[in-house]
Structure 1
Amino acid sequence: MDDVIPAPLVPRVPVAGGAGAFPVHRIYCVGRNYVEHAIEMGHTGREAPFFFMKPADAVLVVADGQAGELPYPPLTSNLHHELELVVAIGKGGRDIAPADALAHVWGYAVGLDMTRRDLQNEMKKQGRPWCIGKAFEASAPIGPITPAAAVPGIHDAAIELRVNGELRQSSRTGKLIWSVAEVIAHLSAAWTLAPGDLIFSGTPEGVGAVVAGDRLEGRIDGLSPLQLQVVA
């Protein structure tokens, strides 16, 4: 059967070192997965993990060693950065046990969950879905994906974000409330995970606003850094 319109392209994230590309299927995001970030957002404790999604074409791919351009999105005056460890799923499955979960991971990357905070907060007040605050174009910048075997220390690695050279976010991936394995187990109880899925695993404390002209640099030990400039 012929398509009646051109088929959309599948977004592809480069693999570190130039060895191919990772096609994106879905993007899952974990909310409030660092204690200090939960506190700064007005919550406490180890609540059950919750998830939201972004469309696959929300990815903004930034090549290794390059600085990407992040368009300042419409309808907001409060665009926030949220630096995250991104988990790239290479083997799908349902009801995956935590003990088996890391065998489903292909690799890891540095990513940002960009958020129109004013729109998100307004939707929360009204008890409405807050997709408009999270799931817009270029809201998921990501750097190259590094194969899991190349970063054995990724589960307790330094994670930090600088804006215009100033340190904004700084923590360790070992401080995740729900570990990568636990996140995969919870997700796979609700959805059937598939090769090509990306999981944004949560952001540490220090989220804040950026404006046009700002330069962002996100780093996680062992991974290719993510560099961006916000443009009008």
Structure 2
Amino acid sequence: NRGKLPEIYARVIGQYIGDTVFLQDINENQIQVAVLKKNNSEIYLTHGWSRLRDFYNINAGAWITLLLISPFVFFIRVRYITGMEITYPHKTPPYKLMLEKPFLEATSNGPIPYFVLPKVFSHSLEKTLTIPDVQTGTLTLYWRGFCQNALPNEETQLRLIDWLGNTWNHCDLKFVNSPYISCKISGQWGDVCKVHNLAKDVIVKFGVTEASNNRTIYFKLAPFIGVRTTLHAPSTSSN
């Protein structure tokens, strides 16, 4: 079983998504699915897609609304054929259904605990990335505001943690006084850009949990674009 993205939507997002993505619902349950790209306008969600049927107890005709949050995550809302939204499974920590490599349908649909991003932050910042931010390996932030209130006032190493729990422990914090006081985060920031395919104008949301002197920064990407599609019964065609 597989799901096909609408062609117009596929052309827009195809360049951003990788070989696998997570489908995440409002309760932060995640289902990992494989991505098959036949061309720029023909993209399928394949291995793992069939799990939606049993996990959400839905049948043919149900609606899936997809919102691209990052190259690795779609936020989804699911409705029955009647238009009524389903009741999403709720568990602490949420469910995370992973693919078995090399992207075979898993033999077990059991829950796998996973990292949960903090919901409350003492300080937060939305940063629209520039070309230097993503091409030089150094992220530049204004000192006043977020950096001044949330980060150490001395050069040190920071830890960056994304919304999936991926961690980069060696991010260097430095300061520059010209032409204005700013923070420079380098080191593994370049790796963050590569892993998440960050580009100019992508909006990154940063947050910290302590009142000051934070050496751990959490981040996630702002949503990109969404689409609604309808589930169809499996086809007998081999294509």
The interval holding the TM-score normalised by the smaller chain is: under 0.3
Which of 1 and 2 has higher RCO (CA within 8 Å, sep 6+)?
Answer: 1
For normalisation by structure 1, the TM-score amounts to: 0.25
For normalisation by structure 2, the TM-score amounts to: 0.25
